[in-house]
Structures are given as structure tokens and as C-alpha cells.
Amino acid sequence: MRAPPPTALLVALLFQGSQAALPVFAADAPARPPTTAPAPARRIVSLQPSLTETLCALDACERLVAIDRYSDWPASVQPLPRVGGLADADIERILAALPDLVLLRPRNRVAERLKELGLNVLALDARSHADMRRNMEAVAQAIGRPGAGEALWARTDARLEALRQQLPAHWRGKRVYFELHGGVAAASEASFIGETLARLGLRNVVPASLGAFPKLGPEFALRADPDLLIVHDAPGMPPLQARPGWHAMRAVREGRTCRIAEPRFDVLVRPGPRLDEAAQEILACLAAVDRQTVGGR
């Protein structure tokens, strides 16, 4: 009789070693801490960059055994095995890492299958600062360090408040359009990005009533006429003046735009512990605009 394939053996071992001892985390709501008290996770696979960063900010980077393809901070995670992303996570490679916890977003397609295979799954999403705070503590509890997440958030919050004091007075209350996905969406007041803008003292032209990250065409920004545009400077992106009507927009005409390239744009759009870096990037953008425009004050 032929021996079973390696994957089948691995799954069998996982069932024997983890089914009884390792309860499965609930994944039915974003940012909800585990409802049980399992042993602290020691071998962790992260399928979301912001969760990778959260784990490392909690001084537990050494517990990572595999990560998604987009996790790139801190530098110490770079050599780790890559197991795919939101839409194409590789179950066999995840199993091969022998994790006792998998961190991912609720919408990850492999979440249910991993639970069926007996793995602990902690599904966390973040659209607001409050979600991020809960996520930090949920991860802290999962690694056996209750309270560490709250402490991390307190430090992050204090840095944000200090940066708020650095916003130049002539920028306070100015209206911002923060573009996403190459121009087909934006961050609204209801998003964590919108909250960061508000925390600094800026205003978002996209109302919370449209949802956190509404799909919007270039005509919305044209009608909103913001004081500042923040966009992703992706490879091959055409000049902003090339968009329909944007050549006449005051922000474009007067050079009040910030085209931010990767990896700095990633810092702005990840709901993780580098919120202060995101705020610093926005302040740097404002300073650059002031240097490049006449009558910045």
C-alpha cells in the first residue's frame, strides 16, 4: 500500500496534537478578543501586514514562523517564509509551518478551512482607531501578555497627540482628499486614515456617511475642491492634471498635492502600530507643500 502524501501526514499530526489542546479563536467579529484562554501562542503565522507589525511592536517578532507576501516591517521579518495573501494564502505552506496561531482578516478565504483543520485562527479587522486598540490587546492576550496591547495603544496615542501640536497653524482646519487604489476610492472621515487626519487638526472632504472607504470617481474630488490632495505615487501613474477636469482644481493648479511612493504610502494605509509614522508622513507632506508653493502661510 502506498504511503500517504506528506500533506496528509502533516494534517493528521496536527489533528492529533492540536485538536484537543488548542481551542479555536472566534472570528465572527472584528477586533474581538479570544473568548477562551488557550496557552500563549509560540508559533504564529500572520497573513496581514498590520497584524505582523502589531505582533512585532509587542516584542514578539521571534514567534513568527511565516508571513504573507506583503509584510515588510520590521526588517527582521524579511527572511521568513511567505505563504500568500488575502486571496491566495497557501494552506499547505501554512500547515508546514506548524503554527499554533494564525492571524488574519475575517475576509481571508482560508480562515474557515484552517479552523476545520484544527488550527487556532484569530481574525481581526480594523477600520477605526478603536478597532486598532482592540486588536492590539487581542494579539497581546493571544501571546500571553494581557495588558501589553493597551500599553502599546497608550504609547501610540501619546505620540499622535504630540504630533498634533506640530501642525502649522495655517494648515489647521484645511480640507484634505486622501485617495486610494489609484483613484477609484478614498478614505472618509469614518476610516482610521480619516481619524488620523482629524487628530492632526485637518478636515476630510469625504463624509463618514459614505462609509469608511467609498468608491469614488475623480469628479467627487473635483466638486469637493480640497485644499490638499494626498495620492499614491504608484509606478506608471499619470500626472494629476491628466484626470478629467483636475487641471482646473485649485490644489492641483497651486501645487498643493502629495504624491507618496511606497513604502511610505504603505505606512499611511496600514491600520497598525505605526500610526505615529503615518502622522509624521502627513506633516512632512505639508512641509514639502509649503516649501514648494508661494504664500504657503
- Do residues 48 and 105 lie in contact, with contact meaning Cβ atoms separated by under 8 Å? yes
* SS3 readout for 73-112: CCHHHCCCCECCCCCCCCHHHHHHCCCCEEEECCCCCCHH
Bridge partners (DSSP) listed for residue 231: 259
How far is it, in rounded angstroms, from Cα 107 to Cα 96?
Answer: 22
pLDDT at 16: 41
Considering the chain, what percentage of its residues have pLDDT values greater than 90? 80
Cα–Cα separations (whole angstroms), residue 215 to 17, 133, 218, 269: 45, 26, 10, 16
Q: Identify whether 74 is preceded by a cis peptide bond (ω within 30 of 0).
A: yes
How far is it, in rounded angstroms, from Cα 285 to Cα 297?
Answer: 15
Q: How many Å separate Cα 295 from the centre of its chain?
A: 35
pLDDT at 20: 35
How far is it, in rounded angstroms, from Cα 135 to Cα 141?
Answer: 10
Residue 257 half-sphere exposure toward CB, CA atoms < 13 A: 20
Mean pLDDT across the chain: 89
pLDDT at 294: 59
Determine which of 46-50, 74-78, 208-212, 243-247 has the lowest per-residue pLDDT on average.
Answer: 243-247
When pLDDT is averaged across residues 26-51 and rounded to a whole number, the result is 73
Q: With bands split at pLDDT 50, 70 and 90, how would you rate the model's confidence at 37?
A: low
The residue ranking higher by pLDDT, 25 or 196, is 196
- Is pLDDT at 2 greater than 90 in this prediction? no
How far is it, in rounded angstroms, from Cα 51 to Cα 290?
Answer: 35
- Is pLDDT at 145 greater than 60 in this prediction? yes
Q: What are 176-232's pLDDT values in tens digits?
A: 999 999 899 999 999 999 999 999 999 999 999 999 999 998 899 999 999 999 999
Q: With bands split at pLDDT 50, 70 and 90, how would you rate the model's confidence at 19?
A: very low
The residue ranking higher by pLDDT, 26 or 268, is 268
pLDDT at 237: 87
Three cell numbers written together for 239: 500626472
- Is pLDDT at 13 greater than 50 in this prediction? no
Determine which of 25-34, 141-150, 161-170, 192-201 has the lowest per-residue pLDDT on average.
Answer: 25-34
3-state SS class at 204: strand
- Is pLDDT at 165 greater than 90 in this prediction? yes
pLDDT at 293: 79
Domains of the chain: 6-155 (3.40.50.1980), 169-292 (3.40.50.1980)
When pLDDT is averaged across residues 129-138 and rounded to a whole number, the result is 98
Who's near 16: CB < 8 A, 6+ residues apart? Answer: none
DSSP conformational letter for 167? S
